[in-house]
Structure 1
């Protein structure tokens, strides 16, 4: 009987989104110190998404703050998320890349991180090269446009329930009204999930 329940009628998951740049130390710290640890506790309660920050250019491309190598790094991580949509998998891969962000987009780094997280590097490489790279460029363009539409310009910006929640910038946490620790984010998620559940039950 329960299998017949349409998920759209259940309490919705809480939107949790991290906006990052692949070659940014603040993104590394943000993912390591906050996002990954929180996800251990709330992965089944959230709808998680990684989005990337850049600027769309006049020739319909994307410009990245740390140059073309960052754009390629962003694309590699987006391909990982596309091919392996379980956040536990692609977040682990992205964190692995971020730990050595200065080496991005090294093929050896991507191969090592893919191996560590059970990904097929051949599939990642195909995602990057299919249609002469147009497919992965479009993934990046859409992701950058999403960040722009949300008004996000700083890596790393954490958004919860479609609102800015906390920003890691210049090695410091800023604009974190409800705290910047793992327990604060987890508590926020649980509170919002409870509110969603209460609304569902009414």
Structure 2
């Protein structure tokens, strides 16, 4: 589960970011740029669960240097009356996508990431169900109604809230615009660096925890140049 000891939370709009204890010890320049890290996923996809489990170990090692998000792969479908979307693993996956997007919008990174990890822990065939969503909200200490997550995703935990469905459609448009078609696709600093589709593919710089950490560190140095060396 999420590594303990993360000391500070810096929520952004749709993506929330958390900082490691290292970040507390340094006075980073206000102009320091974090590395965007995106996982292109489907919430019920085995490859997504594998990627997210791996990144559960990557994130704490580079937490003060990244913005991380999940982006969802599905197909817009106007004839679908519930979501207006077709998800590869069924409507429950669409609901799971919505629940996770709403959690990411309204709670800090540590909180929504724990929510996702909790859903994964219950098994992919239970992701998107109302009972698991509400149970994982309690586990992640999300105030389902008071935080806005419930209104976004559906107060009953169904994942059919109108705001959440719109977030899903927007996320699908994003993955389409980026040409992300395979779950799980790892994108670091706008570059597709690795795919897990049954097995690891197109991972020129490796696919272990250390490999992703090294790639993020390199991207961070590239984004910030010599400015990071003065801190």
With the length of structure 2 as denominator, give the TM-score of the two structures.
0.77
Whether 2:133 is the aligned partner of 1:110: answer yes
The residue that corresponds to 1:127 in the other structure is 152
Give the one of 81, 91, 111 matched to 2:113.
91
**How far apart are the structure 2 equivalents of 1:58 and 1:113?**
30
The residue that corresponds to 1:39 in the other structure is 59
**How far apart are the structure 1 equivalents of 2:212 and 2:192?**
12
Q: Name the SS of the counterpart of 1:79 in structure 2.
A: helix
Q: Name the SS of the counterpart of 1:197 in structure 2.
A: helix
Q: Size of the alignment, in residue pairs?
A: 191
Q: Using a 3 Å threshold, how does the CA distance of structure 1 residues 88 and 158 change in structure 2: closer, same or farther?
A: same
Bigger fraction of residues in helix: 1
Give the one of 22, 39, 62 matched to 1:18.
39
**How far apart are the structure 1 equivalents of 2:154 and 2:138?**
20
The residue that corresponds to 2:172 in the other structure is 144
The residue that corresponds to 1:27 in the other structure is 48
Post-superposition Cα deviations, 1:153-195, rounded to whole Å, max 9, x if no partner, equal: 111111001010111112x111111000010111111111122
Higher relative contact order structure (alpha carbons within 8 Å, sequence separation ≥ 6): 1
Moved over 3 A (4+): none
Post-superposition Cα deviations, 1:26-67, rounded to whole Å, max 9, x if no partner, equal: 1111110x2111101111101111111101124592111111
User: Contact 1:25–1:98 at 8 Å: present in 2 too?
Assistant: no
Q: Name the SS of the counterpart of 1:158 in structure 2.
A: strand
Residue correspondence of structure 1 range 150-169 to structure 2 within 5 A? 150-169=178-197
What's the CA shift for 1:200?
Answer: 5.2
What's the CA shift for 1:125?
Answer: 2.6
**How far apart are the structure 2 equivalents of 1:159 and 1:92?**
21
Q: Name the SS of the counterpart of 1:121 in structure 2.
A: coil
Alignment root-mean-square deviation, CA: 2.1
The residue that corresponds to 1:70 in the other structure is 93
Q: Using a 3 Å threshold, how does the CA distance of structure 1 residues 200 and 115 change in structure 2: closer, same or farther?
A: same
With the length of structure 1 as denominator, give the TM-score of the two structures.
0.87
List alignment gaps of at least 5 residues for structure 1.
none
User: Contact 2:193–2:205 at 8 Å: present in 1 too?
Assistant: yes
